[in-house]
Amino acid sequence: MILTAFTLVHVVISLVAIFSGIAVLFGLLGGKRLDGWTALFLGTTVATSLTGFFFPFHGLTPAIVVGIISLVVLAAAIHARYARKLAGAWRKTYVACAMLALYLNVFVLVVQAFLKIPALKEIAPTQNDPPFKLTQLVVLLAFIVLGVIAMIRFRIEPLSTTTNSNQTKESITK
């Protein structure tokens, strides 16, 4: 019963991470930071990766590997976004890492869908079948294309600091 409740919480966090990540993706495509959505996305994606480690498992599983990769990628995205304030190459680092973190969430969503939804499980019972592989390939290609477009379109200045704001005001008045 506790595992069922924990699974439900994990799934809800994962879905919030995916939906907020999609909002962030649309923001990036439109050249906007969407600070609130970004914080929600990064926070819930960290939470879903961390809670995944609390499920019973034996040995190193693919889910554990995805969780570890996700946390490393998220650490880089958070560092680029908040510590480096998207300055210079950190902007592209942030976009790439945020999109990779979202992709990993969607990758796991597809895996779980093919495991839990009877119609999908019927057409790809081993997850080694063409419908599963094709779905994952389409998702991967979509994220590659959208990620590249997001890197091109997300060309904002670094987050302003008081010094940068004063310098900007001075250069405007000159």
> What's residue 156's pLDDT?
66
Residue 153 has pLDDT above 60, yes or no: yes
> What's residue 44's pLDDT?
98
* Predicted confidence (pLDDT) per residue in 75-133, tens digit: 999 999 999 999 999 999 999 999 999 999 999 999 999 999 999 999 999 999 999 99
> What's residue 155's pLDDT?
84
Higher-confidence position of 112 and 172: 112
**DSSP for residue 84:** S
> What's residue 157's pLDDT?
54
State percent of the chain over pLDDT 70. 89
- Ranges of beta strands (E only) in 74-132 are none
Using pLDDT thresholds of 50, 70 and 90, give the confidence band for residue 36.
very high
Residue 163 has pLDDT above 70, yes or no: no
Using pLDDT thresholds of 50, 70 and 90, give the confidence band for residue 58.
confident
> What's residue 174's pLDDT?
46
Answer yes or no: are the C-beta atoms of 123 and 131 closer than 8 Å. yes
Residue range 33-57: average pLDDT? Answer: 96
pTM recorded for the entire structure: 0.88
CA atoms within 13 A on the CB side of 15: 8
Q: What amino acid occupies position 164? A: N
Three-state secondary structure call for residue 133: helix
The alpha-helical segments, DSSP class H, found in the chain are: 2-29, 35-52, 62-78, 90-116, 118-123, 130-153, 162-173
CA atoms of 29 and 47, how far apart (whole Å): 25
How confident is the prediction for the chain on average, in pLDDT? 91
